[in-house]
Structure 1
Amino acid sequence: MQDKRPTGLSRRNFLRAFGGVSTTAVAAVALAPGEAQAYDPGEEETGPRYRETDHIKAFYRVNGYPLKK
């Protein structure tokens, strides 16, 4: 008996090949070296953010934390 397999590209193989090619293309674009941009947070974001306000002091007092003097 001879196998009668089509010699062309079947639908399943076409989709498998297309998926592999598209995944490779996306990976190549994502991994391509580009110019890096440094983030500058600016003056406002680099300053001190913690402030010991009245409600913070009340939280420390209620929960038994020692308060700074």
Structure 2
Amino acid sequence: MTSDKRQGLDRRSFLRSAGGVAGVAAAAVAISPSMTVEAEAYDPGEDETRSKYQPDAPDVQAFYRTNGYEALLKG
């Protein structure tokens, strides 16, 4: 009887070997301490932390006047 088994890499064995290689690579990356980097905090500075909303600014006053908020406050 002749063997019908192929001499090569079929789909199941290919996926099994690819999964094994990926698992070994992931483990190597997770174990490697030389790849770790300390996190650094971002300092925004004075300009980015100051208050930006100015309620007495002319554009803010025009916005509330245009959208009818004064009528709501009076009534």
| TM-score normalised by the chain length of structure 2 | 0.50
Q: CA RMSD in A?
A: 3.3
**Counterpart residue type for residue 49 of structure 1:** K
Verify: 1:17 aligned to 2:21, yes or no: no
The match for 2:64 is 60
Alignment map for 1:1-69 (pairs within 5 Å): 2-6=3-7, 8=8, 10=9, 13=14, 17=18, 21=22, 24-25=25-26, 28=29, 33-52=36-55, 53-66=57-70
Larger RCO (CA under 8 A, 6+ residues apart): 1
3-state secondary structure, aligned to 2:69: coil
| % identical aligned pairs | 46
Count residues in correspondence: 57
Which has the larger helix fraction? 2
Determine helix, strand or coil for the equivalent of 1:45: helix
Q: List alignment gaps of at least 5 residues for structure 1.
A: none
* TM-score between the two structures when normalised by the length of structure 1: 0.53
TM-superposed deviation, 1:33: 4.1
CA deviation after TM superposition for structure 1 residue 3, in Å: 2.5
Larger radius of gyration: 2
Q: Deviations over 1:3-53 (max 9, x none)?
A: 2222x5x27517x718x629x54xx37xx6421111111111111111232
